[in-house]
Structure 1
Amino acid sequence: MTRAATAEQDRSSTEDGHVDVLIVGAGVSGLGAAHRLRTQFPDRSFTILESQDAPGGTWWTHRFPGARSDSDLFTYGYRHKPWRGPSIAAGSAILEYLDEVIEEDDLAGRIRYHHKVASASWSSAEHRWTVEVTRTDTGERLRLTADFLWMCTGYYNHEAPYRPEWPGLDRFEGTVVHPQKWPADLDTTGKRVLVIGSGSTASTVVPAIARTAAHVTMLQRSPSYWFPSPTVHELATTLEPLDLPAEWTHEILRRQYIQQFDWLATTSREDPDQVHEYLMETIRPLLPEGTDVEKHFTPRYRPWQQRIAIVPDGDFFEAMREGKVSIATDTITEFTEKGVQVSSGEVIEADVVVTATGFNLLAFGGIPFAVDGEPVDFTKRVTWRGMMISGVPNMAYAFGYFRHSWTLRVDLVNDVVDRIFAHMAERGARTVVPTLRPQDADMPLLPWSDPENFNAGYVMRSQDRMFRQGDREPWTHMHEHDHERAALPEADLDDGLQYR
């Protein structure tokens, strides 16, 4: 069944109802949660609400040229479903993979598309959530109830991407587009394109556009770290003649990637100079002769304080060597009719400007929550191990890694939620709520992300809108995978959780 047909099939599902578990979001996180309910708790009813017209989340909404993974698919794919293909893949291949998950787990009939959650309210008297929903295709209002709410909305604000206010933008005579809002009819063939930004999106868009554009200039305020990762891991090439079962190859490559990124994360923290030199020496041979590496490729922050831009097979650098791409490191003074003037006085002329300036974080889809009639101010609440919120009953959320593949953590979170469900059943409990212990009474509320640990722009811009963390377990998060893959399976489910 095609994606369009699947979406059409569920547009008729408009009736109100009650389920044991209500999943919000049909992206990687939501489909992973649904798989767990199918396999671990087959007797529990559940529904997935998705505001878009098809599944896939980010992979469905991001349609800019070259959209692809910036994590390897052997760890970005689910633990239970081996990835078969190159390590780095296009968004369309990831959507096909997710379609297979939906078919294999028989999830098509469980997903309600065009269903946008307007509010969520918990009643202790009724031991359930009431969720108000708006159908984005018809405007109809629905009311659903659930015993447990599983938030799998990711962290993007899909409707409002981040773009700075630049003087003179309204004077520009060309086309301005943000990658999150890419028009289907935009053709950059033969055009002069200016891409503002140098993060993961820019590293994807620039080489894709450069294939047919007259020229692409990437304008960055300051450099990012880059890594030319092979599309096919050399270990995969070694294993191919052995004709191993696909599951073996998947597990071997998965463990190899985990080991590599564990090393990178740990060494970046303990010996950042070593990682800096490693990254610099990796890209030097790929750059055009005479490139000012200090100016254009030496960041102001230490490795992994922001995401490293992955360049599959060095395609970005290849486009630079061929003269199709150039880099300008400067700040924007203003837009002109023909392009952008930077602080040096130079005007970079362009027919199309792509503002690859990042996105805004949105906690829990921006949905207003209430508990027993009182609005929940998440900025006054702390996280329980990065998957539940203090004082909010029967609600878990999926939040992946910034440095490792998102799904690596989602799988670990799902393990803990599975254990909590089983623990509740053993106790005969209907409610579980993270609750500060007596020794936590004076615990400081810290930013959800420590700038010394990770300080990407989208994280810093969200500090005043996100939930908090404490200075002790179990009220912390943003740990690395090498820590959590041991810590989360051992997490004490009675530490900081109350059952009723």
Structure 2
Amino acid sequence: MSTEHFDVLIVGAGLSGIGAAYHLQTRCPGKRYAILEGRSAIGGTWDLFRYPGVRSDSDMFTLGYSFRPWKEAKAIADGPSIREYVRDTARELGIDRHIRFNHRVRAASWSSEQARWTVEVDVGPGEERVRISCSFLYVCSGYYRYESGYTPSFPGRDDFQGQLVHPQQWPEDLDYRGKRVVVIGSGATAVTLVPAMAADAAHVTMLQRSPTYIASLPSEDPIANAIREHLPERIAHRVARWKNVALSLLIYQVCQRAPRLARRMLRGGVARQLPPDFDIDTHFNPRYDPWDQRLCLVPDADLFRAVREGRASVVTDGIRTFTKNGILLESGKELQADIIVTATGLELLLCGGIRLAVDGDVLEPGRSFIYKGLMLGGVPNFALCLGYTNASWTLRAELASTYVCRLLSHMDRHGYRQCSPRPEEAVLDTRPLLGLTSGYVRRSVDHLPKQGSKAPWYFRQNYVLDLLAMKLGPVDDGTMVFSREGRPLRREPASTERPRGVEA
């Protein structure tokens, strides 16, 4: 039986995958491509998460696509609106016709002799195994496990007689009206759930082991909306996008360079939203510096409003054990609960757990260096789409897709069949891929690729610098190795000078 072949296979039909397809069919119109989506719907994260209040923590002028302006009044959008935005984009641009749903990629093997990937795919509910080949494999599946989130092993968990829920597997029929709810966690999911559930629950308690930095912004961007009233749609979208890029860069740089000032500013913002006698230093004054972990955003101060009105409360304490009726804290206090929500984080999983092999050698991503934040050293014709941790995911995802298209076009012009970045590991200082101290990052650091101490092996968190490098920097930079031949790529020894553009 013959194996169907594509020039490019994109894995994932979420925000990144649909954006990648747009750039591919626009910049490389001659390429035949398909999108393999393991689930039955477009949307990725925004179709998976269905918990109350699910929303973006980035504004839609930067989380949305540069090529399709966000038209709604709210810049901080809810999950269903984002899901429809992604689906409408795919439908209007004909991208949906290239999607193969219920196609879960299990493994991919590269053959240098054939200069192609052979991809093992489970199809449909029966998981029939099929093979599809491609010349270039682009994984846009994010970096966390879709099947399950992270839940610690809580003592006495089985003793609790109420309902225990993780946001990543939210039951459609969960009725929390008039019930006592405890949300364990202090991250973006928890600060979203608490005010959303507090509207109908008897009371919601956010139980945190330690505080998180939280900032409040209006859900509507008055400056961006004013710009849209006076400028044509696409120009207004571009201006609003750059305004928000500049603002996010400024905030991040202040946090990194003047953490004490940033801490005072963030604390002051919280203090203005809560009663004068509220214990801010216990509940909203983290031990770490701003942006050592992600900054949480609450639109229209909804979390603080729920606390002010008595519909929600914050408790900072450790968990001794679950009990029959709730949670016993280290302080000896017991929180009564009908429902406990474990908003305790994600499980990171690179490339959706796809097993990668190059010429028969199984790849261990944790031992690889990452090139330009999107390719793995020594892995030919392969890229993975990763977004920023300190800004909108889509900003970097679009730069990654633009670079992939530049790379493909460069290979076509020169008749190359293979490309692979080759690190000089002896001169690279190893650093973690994600520069955050969050628990979900620390738990997975050994399984993620490493970054080096200098470009192009440095994973920048700066959109302006990345824009210059990815759109204007040379594709043939002396690190990327190209070949017209069907044989394993190699990099010349560091002591041997090789002119740029000469294939291996």
TM-score band (shorter)?
over 0.9
SS at match of 1:54: coil
Q: Which residue matches 2:178?
A: 190
Aligned equivalents of 1:123, 1:236: Cα separation in 2: 50
Residue pairs, 1:340-355, within 5 angstroms: 340-355=327-342
Q: Quote the offset at 1:444 in angstroms.
A: 3.8
In the alignment, the residues of structure 1 paired with residue 426 and residue 482 of structure 2 have an alpha-carbon distance, to the nearest angstrom, of: 20
Secondary structure, counterpart of 1:222 in structure 2:
coil
SS at match of 1:464: helix
Name the residue aligned to 2:44. 57
One-letter code of the match for 2:446?
Answer: D
Q: Does 1:36 align with 2:18?
A: no
Matching residue within 395, 404, 426 for 1:441? 426
3-state SS, counterpart of residue 324 of structure 2: coil
Read off the aligned partner of 1:446 and give its amino acid letter.
R
Amino acid paired to 1:355: T
Question: Take 1:92 and 1:472, find their aligned partners in 2: how far apart are those partners?
Answer: 40
What is the alpha-carbon root mean square deviation over aligned residues?
1.5
Corresponding residue SS for 2:451 = coil
> Out of 250, 259, 264, which is 1:272 matched to?
259
Find the counterpart in structure 2 of residue 467 from structure 1: 449
Counterpart residue number, 1:24: 11
Is the CA contact 1:226–1:308 (under 8 Å) kept in the aligned structure 2? Answer: yes
User: Is residue 166 from structure 1 mapped to residue 154 from structure 2 by the alignment?
Assistant: yes
Residues 1:203 and 2:191 aligned together? yes
Percent of pairs identical after alignment? 43
Matched, 1:101 2:84: no
CA–CA separation in structure 2 for the residues paired with 1:479 and 1:259? 13
Matched letter for residue 180 of structure 2: R
Contact kept in structure 1, 2:216 and 2:297, CA below 8 Å: yes
Give, in angstroms, the shift of residue 313 of structure 1: 0.4
Give the whole-Å Cα distance in 1 for the aligned partners of 2:427 and 2:25.
41
Secondary structure, in 3 states, of the residue corresponding to 1:129? strand
1:221 alignment partner, one of 209, 225, 231: 209
Pairwise CA distance, 1:249: 2.5
Indicate conservation of the 8 Å contact 1:449/1:478, yes or no: no
Q: Which moved more, 1:464-473 or 1:440-449?
A: 440-449
Q: Counterparts of 1:490 and 1:272 in 2: how far apart (Å)?
A: 33
Q: 1:498 aligns with which of 461, 481, 495?
A: 481
How far apart, in 2, do the equivalents of 1:386 and 1:353 lie? 38
Does the C-alpha gap of structure 1 residues 55 and 262 become closer, same or farther in structure 2, counting only changes over 3 Å? same
Is the 8 Å Cα contact of residues 69 and 90 (structure 1) preserved in structure 2?
A: yes
Distance 1:236 1:436, change over 3 A: closer
Identify the residue that residue 145 of structure 2 maps to in structure 1. Answer: 157
TM-score scaled by length of structure 2: 0.93
Letter in 2 for 1:419: R
The residue aligned with 1:360 is 347
The runs of 4+ residues in structure 1 deviating greater than 6 Å are none
Q: CA deviation at 1:477?
A: 0.6
CA shift, 1:488, in A, is 2.8
Matched, 1:114 2:99: no
Shift of 1:243: 4.5
- SS of 2:148's partner is coil
Letter in 1 for 2:449: F
Give the match for residue 358 of structure 2. 371
| Contact 1:379–1:465 (Cα < 8 Å) also in 2 | yes
Opposite residue 435 of structure 1, the aligned amino acid is R
Greater Cα shift, 150-159 or 479-488: 479-488
**CA distance, structure 1, for counterparts of residue 352 and residue 284 of structure 2:** 35
Shift of 1:237: 4.5
SS in 1 for 2:450: coil
Q: Does residue 484 of structure 1 match 2:466?
A: yes
In structure 2, how many angstroms separate the alpha carbons of the residues matched to 1:320 and 1:173?
27
Q: TM-score, normalised by structure 1?
A: 0.94
- C-alpha displacement of 1:99: 1.4
| Contact 2:429 2:453 survives alignment (8 Å) | yes
- Per the TM alignment, residue 491 of structure 1 is displaced from its structure 2 partner at its CA by 3.0
Is residue 414 from structure 1 mapped to residue 401 from structure 2 by the alignment? yes
Amino acid at match of 1:346: K
How far has the Cα of 1:213 moved from its partner? 0.2
Q: 1:384 to 1:270 in 2, by over 3 A?
A: same
Q: What is the CA distance between 1:289 and its match in structure 2? A: 3.6
- Any idea what SS the aligned residue of 1:311 has? strand
Q: Is the 8 A contact 1:38 1:105 kept in 2?
A: no
Cα deviation for residue 89 of structure 1 reads 0.7
CA shift at 1:442, angstroms? 4.5
Q: More deviation in 176-185 or 462-471?
A: 462-471
Match of 2:496 in 1: none
Q: Which amino acid aligns with 2:356?
A: F
Is the CA contact 1:147–1:394 (under 8 Å) kept in the aligned structure 2?
yes
- Determine the C-alpha separation between the residues in 2 that align with 1:317 and 1:490: 44
Letter in 2 for 1:207: P
